[in-house]
Structure 1
Amino acid sequence: MREININDRTSSIYHYVSTYQNIPIWVIIDHLDFGGLYHFIKELPDQILNKIASDLTPFFFDNNGITLGQRFTPTIMLSFMKNILEIRNVCAHNKRLIEFNCHADAKYLSELHDQYSITASEDRKSFYNTFIIMQCFLSKTEFCILNNTLRKRFKNLNNDLNTISINDIFLKMGFPENWQLRSPLPQ
């Protein structure tokens, strides 16, 4: 996690500390990386966590057209964020994403997971599962762009493979077979 320097006179943090002896949340957020944001949110009181998760519910509906029958709870939200953070760290540190599994199962959200034929009893640690849970935090357009970009990259990769099949890679990453052949999502 990146350290925030409150003595940097050019920083908005310094301005708020020296002028108001207080730092508004919107100023702090600008200085956090994704890991810092996750740990910050994780430590918030339950009342605020419930409000954040509750506020994400209509965002999920607006972007996916799905009404959540179960509540989008802080536990679900934090488990999703934790797995996204783990995948982000693997990518940021040039580690191998193939065969990587997150440390914990993302919580099961029936309205989301059922769309992808993922049941409550299945493992939800894979890259593919983390990819689909990103729908809860990205706009519909952002997720479509991500999906279509990934699909195109896998198609290009498939053209260059000689010793392993793309479906072997998909299996190791939790994707369904021939995922790259699915239609692109409308942007």
Structure 2
Amino acid sequence: MANAFGSHLYNSQSLGKLAGEVGYSRETYIKHYRDTYDVPAVPPVWMVAEMISFGQLSRWYSGLADRSLRNAIARPLGLPEAVLVPFARHITDIRNICAHHGRLWNRGFLAPPKLAQKPIDLRDTLDQSATQAPAKLYNALVTIGHIIRSVAPNSTWMADVKTLVVTHPTGDVAGMGFPADWLQRSMWQ
């Protein structure tokens, strides 16, 4: 595993943090693992994935030294790793704002995510002119919608967001970065 990450120091710090969280976890399946196994100290990834924070997951993903591994992870989502890596960091910020009941609707983000150019319906739904800071929420919502659609094609998430925005207007959807013609863009149809 050390070879999968560029920095040995980063790898050992991340593993140490993860091992500490496993050691303190009260989750039944983690307790069972600790009571049953001594080696390895960290349970299999399918167990750890249940308890790892989104921020940690983002850092583990971006810390992969091999770009082909990052692309292999991003491919089922229909995105290149060059888009998914910064988006994972961006969505971590959005998740943290939501988790701490922060203001999200007209917030500006200092690091705008790189915008996807494929697939075409995603490219055409994104606001391609919004590449400078401060980034607004709109492009993140569209990218989240694309990812959800990739893993759950029958999801109504995009329609639910559309209904929420249309039926609960703030008076300023432009404050969230929504372009004037957003309802006509393909992923909102």
TM-score, with length taken from structure 1: 0.69
**Offset, 1:11:** 3.6
The Cα offsets for residues 52-84 of structure 1, whole Å up to 9 and x where unpaired, read as 422432442xxxxxxx7xxx12x4211011111
Q: Which residue, 173, 178, 181 being the options, matches 1:175?
A: 178
**Offset, 1:41:** 2.4
Matched residue, 2:8: none
Aligned residues: 165
| SS of match in other structure, 1:118 | coil
Matched residue, 1:54: 72
Structure 2's unaligned 5+ residue stretches are 1-16
- Counterparts of 1:1-187 in structure 2, within 5 Å, are 4-6=21-23, 11-17=28-34, 18-22=36-40, 23-43=43-63, 45-47=64-66, 50-60=68-78, 72-73=80-81, 75-112=82-119, 114-116=123-125, 118-119=127-128, 122-123=131-132, 125-140=135-150, 141=152, 145-158=156-169, 165=171, 169-177=172-180, 179=182
Paired residues of 2:148 and 2:155 also in contact (CA < 8 A) = no
Distance 2:154 2:138 in 1: 13
Distance 1:180 1:82 in 2: 27
Paired residues of 2:182 and 2:188 also in contact (CA < 8 A) = no
Paired residues of 1:154 and 1:180 also in contact (CA < 8 A) = no
| SS of match in other structure, 2:156 | helix
Partner amino acid, structure 2, of 1:80: F
Structure 1's unaligned 5+ residue stretches are 61-67
**Offset, 1:98:** 2.5
Paired residues of 1:144 and 1:185 also in contact (CA < 8 A) = no
| SS of match in other structure, 2:148 | coil
Paired residues of 1:7 and 1:14 also in contact (CA < 8 A) = no
Paired residues of 1:56 and 1:136 also in contact (CA < 8 A) = no
Identity across the alignment (%): 19
Distance 1:133 1:38 in 2: 16
Distance 2:48 2:182 in 1: 39
Distance 2:165 2:158 in 1: 11
Distance 1:183 1:13 in 2: 44
Paired residues of 2:145 and 2:157 also in contact (CA < 8 A) = no
